[in-house]
Amino acid sequence: MRIAREIKIPSLLKEKTMDKLISISMLSADFSRLGEHLKQAEAAGADWLHVDIMDGHFVPNITMGPDQVAQLRGAVAIPFDVHLMITHPLAYIERFAKAGADTITVHVECDDDTDACLDLIEKCGVKPAVVISPETPASAVAPYLDRVRMVLVMGVHPGFGGQSYIPETTAKLAKLHEMIGGRPVRLEIDGGVNFDTLPEILTTGADTIVSGSCLFKGDIAANIGRFKTLFEQ
């Protein structure tokens, strides 16, 4: 990660009121029935579709490319929350923007310059966001808070679904919520979120909740409804 430029965007420095959102992670869906399951999730109240892109280098697994994301764009109308777990996102940002991404999130740990990535995302007319892995401190996103629309915190090591929530993530989320302050910047958590961990996570100020394994296991509508109930509590 290179040293970031200090860029202030006055229009973002205003008080925010963020509704809590569910960004359902498609990696845990049954891919033989993917379109059907995504439609079920949308009908049940999922707010966003979280699309994990893995390159087999930044993380060990490989998922899908822009062509597949473009095909999915026709399946549901909810916004696409595209998380690039790739070493060189600059080479792919434009293609994922054209494929239908509404938000594109890049890792501050990737090999490309973070500011350059955010510049390109904005140029493509997509909302820019940054993400940090479990080993990365909250302070790593401080240079970008005045130009991103969301900060994503990994509650597990990126690259695999179904992992257990790392307890230290809770303090990191609370710290980031304090750092964000009145900026209209969403605070997203991805990894290990289930019915047991969600209540604790919600105390931190996190407002965008990614979950896959928990929500796609069993009755999708009932699971999403249970998440919404926990939001209200």
Give whole-number Cα distances, 166 to 4, 98, 117, 189, in Å: 28, 34, 28, 11
pLDDT, tens digit, 9 for 90 and up, residues 164-195: 999 999 999 999 999 999 999 999 999 999 99
Residue 181 backbone class (left: φ over 0; alpha: ψ -120 to 50; beta: rest): left
> Where do the structural domains in the chain lie, given as residue ranges?
21-232
Binding-site residue set for substrate? 25, 83, 159-162, 190-192, 212-213
- Homologous superfamily of 21-232: Aldolase class I (3.20.20.70)
Catalytic residue set:
52, 190
- The pLDDT assigned to 120 comes to 98
**pTM more than 0.85:** yes
Residue ranges of the binding site for a divalent metal cation = 50, 52, 83, 190
Rounded to an integer, the average pLDDT of 39-51 is: 97
Do residues 190 and 173 make contact, with C-beta atoms less than 8 angstroms apart?
no
Say whether 84 sits in a helix, a strand or coil: strand
* pLDDT at 225 exceeding the cut of 50: yes
